[in-house]
């Protein structure tokens, strides 16, 4: 009975030690990346899921379909123009 794994993949080990071991394979580039990683982990995402989401976000616009959609979307060009001219900003 001692060799049985806890249900749902939970372990008795604290989360912070697992994060330290796994961070060897992924290093957030900025403080913002680290905050986003911490937020995803605290929200219940597994390590691999969180890193995958951050990588997708970082490389989203390298996708040919996304580049084509942005190029063809004139509204995005207009909003970009508004932003560059200080008529809108990204704060709430």
> Residue 83 to residues 57, 71, 90: CA-CA distances in angstroms?
21, 17, 8
Measured distance CA(81)–CA(3) in Å, rounded: 61
- Confirm whether 9 is domain-assigned: no
pTM of this prediction exceeds 0.75: no
Number of structural domains, the chain? 2
Neighbour count for residue 37 (Cβ, 10 Å):
20
Task: List the chain pLDDT tens, one digit each, 92 residues.
Answer: 445 555 555 555 444 434 433 444 666 677 888 899 999 999 999 999 999 998 888 888 788 888 888 778 888 889 889 999 999 887 75
- Confirm whether 16 is domain-assigned: no
Both 92 and 68 in a single domain? yes
The pLDDT value given to residue 13: 47
Domain that holds residue 36: 28-58
The pLDDT value given to residue 92: 55
Both 67 and 91 in a single domain? yes
The single-letter DSSP state of residue 45 is -
Both 54 and 68 in a single domain? no
Q: What share of the chain is helix, strand, coil (3-state, %, to 5)?
A: 65, 0, 35
- Confirm whether 53 is domain-assigned: yes
Both 68 and 49 in a single domain? no
């Amino acid at each position: 009975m001692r060799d049985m794994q806890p249900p749902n993949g939970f372990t008795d080990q604290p989360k912070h030690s697992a994060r330290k071991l796994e961070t060897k394979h992924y290093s957030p580039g900025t403080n913002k990346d680290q905050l986003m990683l911490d937020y995803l982990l605290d929200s219940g995402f597994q390590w691999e899921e969180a890193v995958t989401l951050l990588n997708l976000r970082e490389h989203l616009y390298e996708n040919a379909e996304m580049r084509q959609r942005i190029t063809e979307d004139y509204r995005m060009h207009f909003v970009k123009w508004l932003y560059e001219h200080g008529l809108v900003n990204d704060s709430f």
